[in-house]
Amino acid sequence: MTAYAFAHLRSVDVNAEIVEYLEKIDATLDAHGGRFLVHNKVPTVMDGSFEGVLVLIEFPSTEVAEAWYHSAGYQEIVDFRVNNSVGGAAIVEGVGPDYRAADMVAGK
């Protein structure tokens, strides 16, 4: 099942470490079949609040996404993001093409 790594970054200090992070992250994704779907975009907020930017990366599965996050290549640069931004990142499994919201109520 497709999985997504996402980050909600409320602020980013764009400095030499962030530049290095951006220069190196693509190579870490390539080895795991990851690709950016959204990168550093400010969403149009329809209700509630959402400060900052969104990053969304697609992976073939949760296992692959977690392997990417824990890979030597990504671990070499992850602190550059963590130490120079306010926000968080997570991995979530997607749903299949036939999924319907009512499936949650039905226990599927």
pLDDT, tens digit (0-9, with 9 covering 90-100), for 10-41: 999 999 999 999 999 999 999 999 999 999 99
Residue the block writes with tokens 């990168």: 39
Residue among 10, 69, 9 nearest 34 (CA): 69
Give residue 103's pLDDT.
82
Whichever domain contains 24, its CATH number is 3.30.70.100
Residue among 3, 4, 23, 1 nearest 81 (CA): 23
Give residue 95's pLDDT.
92
8 A C-beta contact, residue 40 and residue 55: yes
Kindly report the pTM of this predicted structure: 0.92
Give residue 107's pLDDT.
72
Number of domains in the chain: 1
Residue span of the structural domain in which 73 resides: 3-105
pLDDT, tens digit (0-9, with 9 covering 90-100), for 33-90: 999 999 999 999 999 999 999 999 999 999 999 999 999 999 999 999 999 999 999 9
d(CA 83, CA 18): 9
pLDDT at 108 over 80: no
8 A C-beta contact, residue 47 and residue 58: no
